[in-house]
Structure 1
Amino acid sequence: MPLRPDARSILQGQFQPKVAIGGVGGSGTRVLSHGLALAGIHMGDDQNPAGDDLAYTGLFCWPGILDVEAERLHALMELYLLQGSGQPNGPLERAAATLSANWEAVAGASRHDHDRAWAQVRLEGIRDRLLAQATGTATSAVRPWGWKEPNCHLMADRWLEALPTLRYVQVIRHGLDMAFSKNLNQAKRWGPRLIGTPLPVGPTQALDFWLHSQRRFVELSARYPDRVLALRYEDLCRQPRDTFVRLLNFLDLSTDDDTVDQMVKLVRPSTSLGRYRSRDLSVFSERSLRDLESMGFEISPN
């Protein structure tokens, strides 16, 4: 689903985003966002402590976005790209009109984890950035940029099709560890819409959602083999230097020792690594466990 023809060139070359990072929530994406910031990538003007780009969260992380008609979704994508790029020209008036036209729908969208006031703050930030770009008061210099928002794996195919130079990185953690995570926000938000997940969400529903996301990622990798990278959270914890070098090479960024050393210092392996080994796996179907193993994830004994 490409952006409409007149929108493919809305961003000049130096303002094109370099990378998007996603993954099922709780998979360890934050260290990549903070690491790439050390490597010189601007990862957003409105971030939470986990490094999520909250402008993306505000515009795209509500279940109804999956049913938005193509033309409206294109316009929201253009809006996000313009406000994130810092580009001082381009169709800023059109972006402002898109923001105005969608303000109520986005601010009032049903979100189980954020209220209307939170969404309003995100939209006001987007408005202020567009205004600064239009009036020439934006202070950001031209710099490589990107975003990290775990939920963006749901729209990764849209972004890759719309932006021919974009690279996408998905952080993947063992599905059984994810199934027993307390962070079930994505399964709650998207599961009912995508795979008919019943509420409340427990370990079996969380694993079903993880398997669904993995199948989608396999398809995405086959479609864009040179523009998509999978990074295992377990590799990041056990072999941080090699994993970061692999990431930097994928993005054509410098792998100088000082930068990599700083990135490695960010890694704090979770104490929940391998937590599934102490849990009752009989709650999962044999088929789900076989599917997980077929994706390359071993089920180790206690």
Structure 2
Amino acid sequence: MTPPLTILSQSDADELARTEPVVVMSRGHSGTRVLSWALAALGIHMGTLRSEPAGDCQDRRFTGAIKKVADSRIGTCSTRAPGARETRRFRRALWRYLRGVPRDGRRWGWKFPETYLIGGVVDTVVPRARYLHLVRDGRDVAFKSHLTDDEGRRLGRTILGHLGLLGRPRHLQAAGSWAYQVQRFRALRPVLEPRVHRLTFEQLCTRPVETMEAVAGFLGLPMTDECRRYLAEQVRPEKVGQHRGEDPAKLRAVEALIGETLAAEGYPPAAR
């Protein structure tokens, strides 16, 4: 087992800063699982395990550090320079993760939805990172549960408390959490351009091969037959627009809460 790193040398920090990881930026339940495994099928090491279908990075110390840093960033401007403690925590955790990445010449990266909340910290530590910004209709996300809208989880409680949504119906908590995270990253995007490629869940479901070919091109990688096979077997177009089957009254409440963000991301309210 790799011993814990308490101090990271300047040369190690500099080496880390020269890397170019592929980072999935997205709210949970936005199609991140499919994107992560599609990236793995392109040959990118994403820290995944076949036994864990969510496609998250399985380095628990790394993902635990992401959650702690995210919790400390709630309520701050996403473009505000991160504090020294936040930066040190994330840098050490990322360095430990990188030490476990096979040195076989493959690209590497990770998917863990809470990373969406700490874009400024990631950019400080790895300023050459490439970002895949995946967005899904917030009305679909509103009727799914994730730890960032769960007041029984520390991070979820922090986000919902900041938004004034503690004790509110779960569909409103999930919708508010989605809008908050999307808005934070949108504010940060001008700082990260042109290292950001935006795609939508709807594109990934309805035009999967074309969408992943564009992703591969952005990353400077060839499209692979393995990726095409994965998309053919796993992508489900019927998952687009799932909110249409929900209670109309709840849906109206969701649209009233997050309508501005929906419109800004290209999801106009449904005609009544």
| TM-score, reference length from structure 1 | 0.70
- Quote the residue 1:75 is aligned against: 88
| Structure 1 unaligned residues grouped into runs of 5+ | 87-128, 130-137
C-alpha separation in 2, matches of 1:4 and 1:192: 37
Q: Output the CA distance in 2 between the equivalents of 1:61 and 1:83.
A: 16
CA contact (8 A) 2:17 2:127 kept: no
Is 1:254 paired with 2:225? no
Alpha-carbon contact 2:142-2:254 (below 8 Å) kept: no
**% identical equivalent positions:** 27
Secondary structure at 1:168's aligned position in 2? strand
Give the partner amino acid of 2:118: M
Q: Relative to structure 1, is the Cα distance of residues 202 and 259 closer, same or farther in structure 2, using a 3 angstrom cutoff?
A: same
Q: Which 4+ residue blocks in structure 1 deviate beyond 6 angstroms?
A: none
Residue of structure 1 in register with 2:113 after alignment: 150
CA contact (8 A) 2:17 2:125 kept: no
Asked whether the 8 Å contact 2:206–2:237 carries over to 1, the reply is no
Distance in 2 between the 1:242 and 1:299 partners? 27
Task: Point out where structure 2 has 5 or more consecutive residues left out of the alignment.
Answer: 1-7, 75-81, 151-155
- 1:237 corresponds, among 205, 227, 236, to 205
In structure 2, the partner of 1:61 is 67
> Residue 229 of structure 1: SS of its match in structure 2?
strand
Q: Once structures 1 and 2 are overlaid, which stretch shifts more, 234-243 or 168-177?
A: 168-177
Normalising by structure 2, we get a TM-score of: 0.77
Counterpart of 1:294 in structure 2 is 264
Q: Out of 223, 231, 242, which is 1:275 matched to?
A: 242
Deviation at 1:17? Answer: 4.2
Q: 2: distance between equivalents of 1:246 and 1:59? A: 31
The amino acid of 1:38's aligned partner reads: A
Please show how residues 94-105 of structure 1 align to structure 2 within 5 Å: none
Code of the residue aligned with 1:236 in structure 2: it is L
Question: How big is the alpha-carbon RMSD for the aligned residues of Structure 1 and Structure 2?
Answer: 3.0
Provide the rounded CA distance (Å) in 1 between the counterparts of 2:263 and 2:102. Answer: 49
Q: How much has 1:194 moved relative to structure 2?
A: 4.0
Q: Is the 8 A contact 1:160 1:167 kept in 2?
A: no
Q: How many residues get paired? A: 245
Q: 1:285 to 1:158 in 2, by over 3 A?
A: same
- For 2:234 and 2:193, the matched residues in 1 are separated by 27
Native 8 Å contact 1:22 1:169 kept in 2? yes
